[in-house]
A and B are shown apart, each in its own frame.
Chain A
Amino acid sequence: MKVSNLKVSYDETTVLENINFNVEKHLCILGSNGSGKSTLAKALCGLLPYQGSIQIQGYELSSLPPLQRAKKIAYIPSKMESFEQFTTVEEFVLLGRYPHKASFKNYSLEDKNIVKEVLTELSLSELSPLRLHALSSGQQQLVLIAQALAQKSSILIFDEPTSNLDPKNTALFVKELQKLRTTFTTILITHDIQLAAFFDDPVIFIQDKKAELFETDFFQTEHLSKAYGINFKNENGLLGVAYE
């Protein structure tokens, strides 16, 4: 994914401008609340109109038909929303196959098999007949990932995936993410410095509508402190905010 001179505006208010970066394998997007991280993520998914260029595997994002776009990028929101209480895990994950489904037809046997495989891969098979509202937030997060995997897109964008998870579920999520990173390009948006430092990917730090790219070394206390404007400390390899 190659982004050049990107400018994103909401109702004539410019949220981000002059953004340039190139994702080879993985990327982490950091920034304070309201800095425009999610806006950038939405633009990268093709949900927002933009100026400049976002190229994915040689194609300009805005010129890709929606279904083709969905086959290349999947977005995993931080929280599961659903108006319908009675959708089961299996039915929900099957929706990830929508871009591959022939129009006016039902989901094929192949689609259903892919869903089964994905659920087995994420150890969710036992949950498949359960309804979404019966799941814990940790399970819901995994189900959202399962749906994205069923979509078979090569780029996965995670929007604050751990913000609703307890430490145990965060650890489970990280374990899954590690596995996924071997086959997918991932873009991780997060506030969790420890998590971001663990993967140590190139970082885009967003501030004042601008984005700065740090290929390496972002997770050193002096860089972090300068970027966020607060003090960070590193005690025995444990990175965190130095509370006063």
Chain B
Amino acid sequence: MNKSYLWLILFSLTLLSPFAGTASLDFGTIFETNSLSQRIFLELRLPRILLAFVVGGTLGLAGLLFQTLFRNSLMTPFTLGVSGGAVLGAGLAIKLGLTFIFGLSAVSLFGFFGAFSTVLLLIVLSRYLKKAEQESLLLLGIALSFFYTSALMVIFYLSSFTETATIMRFTMGSLSVVGYESVLTISFFSAILLALLYFKRFELQLLSISDEQASLKGINTKQLTYLFLGVSSLAIGVLVSLTGPIGFIGLIIPHMVRKVYQKPVSSLIFPVFFVGGFFLLACDTLTRFISVGSEIPIGVITALIGGPFFIYLIISKQK
């Protein structure tokens, strides 16, 4: 696959994006002040496009970071149980009937703490692992995910029908949004992550070889790894608490960009962010085009497209 094809496909779907959705948009009246079309465009479609883009970009970046840091292509915040933690936190808030804490959405707050505490737990547990045992960390993440799923089942078991439906809705992930609050919140943390990775790209490149090599070149690896994990889990925690878990992006986008660009991690930061952003936007556009009545959850689409594409990437021989 070549770079220009990749961008062409992603761009054309982006151009179509504002017009996809249950309410149809009339291009003629979009620039008329206070017209219905303009309100749909500014209050529903545009924030959603921006949200999809920034969420996709952030998920891709976090995936790239985790894969590089742990030198394992299966390591993403999601495979390590971070999203599981967020879902459990959100589920708990819904079951407890909490709506707002200090003016913030309780579901988001609990979701955030679920994700963030999972990362902290993984950092603490990983200190008991030897350097070479990165695979054990993945197993820890998988074990945590199973634990969270079972704990969520217990919550389901104890919940009423309405509560169950609300929790289910959250676990499916969604980009439905009105206004710009979520977009701005996620963008803020995403920008910090993007800047950190960009300014520390050569350090990241050395870490991709080994912690030892990075130390030998004069990097304080422990400090830097904690900084990377801290900032990325903050971004992921905030993101998951607002949109619910959206899988597959963090896993496939770094892979796809690596295969297409064939460059080391220091040159992949922006490509991963943009491809991740456009990819989720494209998936979201598709979701809105094919949805009849109620919307198909975005996570379903990313996995349906991502899965087969990922298999193709793995088995297709590249030069």
Contacts and interface: CB of A to CB of B under 8 A. Distances in A.
Interface string B217-228: 111100000000
A86 B218 CA distance: 23
18 contacts: A45-B216, A66-B215, A66-B220, A73-B216, A74-B216, A83-B67, A83-B71, A83-B209, A84-B205, A86-B258, A87-B264, A98-B217, A98-B218, A98-B219, A99-B218, A104-B199, A107-B202, A131-B262
B262 A75 contact: no
Nearest to B202: A98
Interface of B: 67-68, 71-72, 199, 202, 205-206, 208-210, 212-213, 215-220, 258, 261-265
A33 interface: no
A110 to B, nearest CB: 16
A101 B202 contact: yes
A95 B265 CA distance: 13
A235 interface: no
A41 to B, nearest CB: 11
Contacts of B265: 84
Interface in A36-74: 42, 45-47, 65-71, 73-74
Contact of B217 (A65, A91, A107, A151): A151
Closest 7 CB pairs of A and B: A70-B218, A67-B218, A83-B71, A66-B218, A86-B262, A98-B217, A87-B264
A50 to B, nearest CB: 15
Nearest to A74: B216
Contacts of B215: 46-47, 66
A244 interface: no
Contacts of B212: 42, 47, 77
A158 to B, nearest CB: 13
Contacts of B209: 81-84, 95
Contact of B206 (A74, A98, A131): A98
A147 to B, nearest CB: 9
Given A68-B218, A98-B219, 6 more contacts: A69-B218, A70-B218, A74-B216, A84-B208, A95-B205, A95-B213
A47 B213 CA distance: 10
Nearest to A70: B218
Contacts of A65: 218
B216 A75 contact: yes
Contacts of B216: 45, 47, 70, 73-75
A73 B215 CA distance: 12
Given A81-B209, A99-B218, A86 B263 contact: yes
Given A91-B264, A101-B202, A104-B199, A83 B208 contact: yes
B241 to A, nearest CB: 30
A66 B213 CA distance: 12
A82 B220 contact: no
A82 B206 contact: no
Contacts of A83: 67-68, 71-72, 208-209
Contacts of B71: 83
A62 B6 CA distance: 50
A99 B217 contact: yes
